[in-house]
Amino acid sequence: MSLPVAFHRAASAEFIEAAAWYESKRLGLALEFITAIDRCVLLASEHPLQFAIIYGDIRRVVANRFPYSVYFRAEEHRIVVLAVFHGSRDSAIWQARA
């Protein structure tokens, strides 16, 4: 059973911005990126406790092929995606959302 997913506003903006950047690099690359992130979100919603806690109560799913991770909080009846974050960015940015 999958839990419903809610995106923090900043996470949605990061996701859209990254997809646009990939599309600007190569036609169709955004779709590949979106598919990779959607897979991360699906895994988090289906098996949230499978992923290790990395900060407070925040867990992370690492994307395949792209240097991005999905940071989320597992709540009782949903997961909340706090960030869709590039690995080289300062983690203090998404940690402030926790």
For residues 40 and 48, the answer to whether their CB atoms sit within 8 Å is no
Q: Are 48 and 74 in contact (CB under 8 A)?
A: yes
28 HSE (CA, 13 A, CB side): 0
**Average pLDDT estimate for 68-80:** 97
* Share above pLDDT 70 across residues of the chain, in percent, rounded to a whole number: 100
CATH numbers and ranges of domains, the chain: 5-95 (3.30.2310.20)
The reported pTM is 0.94
Q: Which DSSP string do the residues of 53-98 spell out, in sequence order?
A: EEETTEEEEEPSSSSEEEEEEE-SS-EEEEEEEETTS-THHHHTT-
Average pLDDT over residues 25-53: 97
Provide mean pLDDT across the span 48-72.
Answer: 97
pLDDT recorded at residue 1: 76
pLDDT value for 98:
86
